Amino acid sequence: MRAVIQRVSRASVKCSSGHSDEIRTGLLIFLGIEDSDNREDLEWLSGKISRIRIFDDGAGIMNLGLTEVEGEVLVISQFTLHASTRKGNRPSYSKAAAPEISEPMYNDFLKQLEKDAGIIVKKGVFGDHMEVILVNDGPVTVLIDSKNRE
């Protein structure tokens, strides 16, 4: 699993199905699921995100986690995180898991993150066309890959 995490002062999603959601201070997470991802990847990534300390403390040092700042979370599924640009100019998405695999894993990830972070996780709609608006705070953007454990 691959996640792009952005520390935001606000973010929102508007889906083609009509669903919309928004958060204030917190994390916007773009989540990509690969063919070989499994429950272990899901649990590791959720735990890492729920504990990551990328919010400023009183001294302006990134030393606080999501729960300490009472932050919110918005998760957006994004298969393009597994794009390969090795050949030619049109990315290949062959490593991205098929929807019948990735959609249940996406939903399980949402549940696991709610459990690990102890908050309600807001989300986009899997497979929908989405417009995502964000105000990146910092800017702070972190890439985490469960296969590399970094």
Residues with catalytic annotation?
78-80
Report d(CA 102, CA 95) in Å as an integer. Answer: 11
Beta strands 130-145 and 2-15 are antiparallel
Token duo for residue 18: 């009509």
